[in-house]
Each structure stands twice: as structure tokens, then as C-alpha cells.
Amino acid sequence: MSYGSGFYLCQEALGELGKLNIDAEVVDLRTLKPLDMALVAESIKKTHRAVIVHEACLTGGFGAELTARIQDELFDYLDAPIKRVAAKDFPIPFSPPLEDYVLPKMSEVVAAVRAVTYR
């Protein structure tokens, strides 16, 4: 599940996951308020897993809120812990190489999906 630029990161990860024979779907949340929990629930009821990807910082980012909502409303459907892929807990630097270091990577998305699928 993702929104904004995280969606494109997830789309990129689908290619790598396909090479690993992992069938995944990307849920584009599009809006955070109102949050389409019906769409989130539909995906979790189908896959029984959740990986949340966003460029905000990990601590206090929207992924933490979404994780809490999933835990509260959909816990019984989960077969694995929820994983979050987000920016490191630093201010976003101005320097492009440092910014690249802080922002989430496609490889981190692949690793999170592998973790929740136990592969």
C-alpha cells in the first residue's frame, strides 16, 4: 500500500518480485483523508499481508497511522506482521546523494515483501 511517489517505487518492485515468483499487488491510496479503508480491507482480505510504503519519515509518518488502523480493524485477516518502508528518521537533506540515502529504496520494498511472504 502506498501513495504519492511511493506508488512508483512499489510498481518498480513488482518486476523484481515477479522474478522471485512472488505475486503482489500495489494499492494506490490516492487520498489519505478521507482514507479508503474499504480498499485497504479488500486487499488485506485477499492477500492476508500488508507492506506500507511512503517517503515520510518512519516514526510519526502516515504509515504508522495506517498500521494502527489495520491492526484495529483487520487483525484477524493478517498472516504476517505489517511491514513499513519509509524514509529514515532524519530531516530530508538538500544534497542529492544524502537525500538518496534517506529516502526509501526499491530493494527495501522487495525485502519487506519477502519478509511478509516468508521468502
pLDDT at 114 over 90: yes
pLDDT tens sequence across 25-52: 999 999 999 999 999 999 999 999 999 9
Q: What is the pLDDT of residue 77?
A: 98
What residue spans define the domains of the chain?
Answer: 5-116
What does the alpha-carbon distance between residue 16 and residue 99 come to, in Å, rounded to a whole number?
Answer: 23
Mean pLDDT (the chain, rounded)? 96
Class of the CATH domain delimited by 5-116:
alpha beta
pLDDT at 19 over 90: yes
Q: What is the pLDDT of residue 119?
A: 84
Residues near 24 by Cβ (< 8 Å), separated by ≥ 6?
13, 14, 17, 47, 113
Q: What is the pLDDT of residue 70?
A: 98
Please give the model's pTM, rounded to 2 decimal places: 0.93
pLDDT tens sequence across 59-110: 999 999 999 999 999 999 999 999 999 999 999 999 999 999 999 999 999 9
- Rounded alpha-carbon distances, angstroms, from residue 30 to 37, 55, 74, 84, 102: 12, 14, 20, 18, 23
